[in-house]
Amino acid sequence: MKLFTNKKKLQNEIKNTNNISFVPTMGALHKGHQSLIKKSVKMSNKTLVSIFVNPRQFDNKKDFFAYPKSFKKDKAILERLKVTYLYKPSYSDIYNFKTKNKIFLHPFSKKLCGKFRVNHFYGVVDVVNRFIEIIKPKKIFLGNKDFQQLFLVKKHIQKNGINTKVISCRTIRNKKFIAYSSRLKRLKKYENKKLVEIITILNDYKKKLIRKRIRHNFNYIKNKLLSAGAKKVDYVEIINLKSLKKPKVFGNNCNLFFAFYIKNVRFIDNF
Ligand code: PAF
């Protein structure tokens, strides 16, 4: 695996390659990332993984500084997975140029996390667009756990006619149904137990909504999550994945979307 920290050197290396697959990450790699990377390596000759904790997508400085880092471990994982290139840019490498594409934010950016994290999705789409302009990948791999991010990147790519295919990948969960997330690394053992309890409540709630065909009741589920140890609940919503509408009862093509905090660690998922 070749490591690059400078876009000019990276671009010089890949200038004659037109089939690069790209997996953007913020490091602290877990089984979810590994699954995206394995898929990319299987589907393509050359996989490029980036590690960049993007300050412009954090709405909270503390959260940015507390973001877990494990570069040595990450590098070993990427080598084991036979990744071709690792790009670990500096802040200025990413932000010292004017982009060709105009950032397009679909109105879905205002919903769910967009209501609670000001400028978050602009920061995400902007940084992904910058990577795409630098690398010009044929494919980009993103996970369904961050459904909103995935959807918004797709819409930006479509709107700008960018020649990069978005490959959406399934969410990877542990035996307790917890989706892997870098932020999990910030939880202590007893907080992990709370997380398992909360996810179990949400999963049971979803099953009940389907089985009994009852209306979603945010205050009811919010209070249950708070009693189980959530510090704050931003939202719990049913979303139709095709229409992006919020039906009152759980129907076909729907998922339960949620965001909550344990301590000061924020979790999102949908299932
Ligand atoms: O999902 C993430 O880790 C980030 O939002 C991404 C896509 C790497 C952009 O910084």
pLDDT in the model for residue 57: 98
pLDDT in tens, 54-88: 999 999 999 999 999 999 999 999 999 999 999 99
Section 148-175 average pLDDT: 98
Q: How far is the CA of 177 from the centre of ligand 1 (A)?
A: 22
Tokens of 140: 């980009």
pLDDT in tens, 165-203: 999 999 999 999 999 999 999 999 999 999 999 999 999
The predicted model scores a pTM of: 0.97
pLDDT in tens, 123-136: 999 999 999 999 99
The best mutation among 131, 146, 150 to test binding of ligand 1, ranked by most ligand atoms within 8 Å of the C-beta, falls on 146
Q: How far apart are CA 138 and CA 164, in angstroms?
A: 5
Section 219-234 average pLDDT: 98
Number of H helices, E strands in the chain: 10, 9
Section 191-216 average pLDDT: 97
Q: How far apart are CA 59 and CA 130, in angstroms?
A: 20
pLDDT in the model for residue 143: 98
DSSP letter, residue 173: B
Percent residues over pLDDT 90 in the chain: 99
pLDDT in the model for residue 21: 98
Atom of ligand 1 nearest to the CA of 182: 3
Percent residues over pLDDT 70 in the chain: 100
pLDDT in the model for residue 210: 97
Q: Which of 30, 33, 156, 216 is catalytic?
A: 33
pLDDT band for position 9 (50/70/90)? very high
Q: How far is the CA of 14 from the centre of ligand 1 (A)?
A: 22
pLDDT in tens, 12-40: 999 999 999 999 999 999 999 999 999 99
Burial of 135: CB neighbours in 10 Å, binned 0-12, 13-18, 19+: buried
pLDDT band for position 142 (50/70/90)? very high
pLDDT in the model for residue 91: 98
DSSP letter, residue 175: T
pLDDT in the model for residue 251: 94
pLDDT in the model for residue 164: 98
pLDDT in the model for residue 166: 98
Place of tokens 């979790």: 267
- Cβ-contact 257, 179 below 8 angstroms: no
Q: Is 156 part of the annotated catalytic residue set?
A: no
Section 219-230 average pLDDT: 98
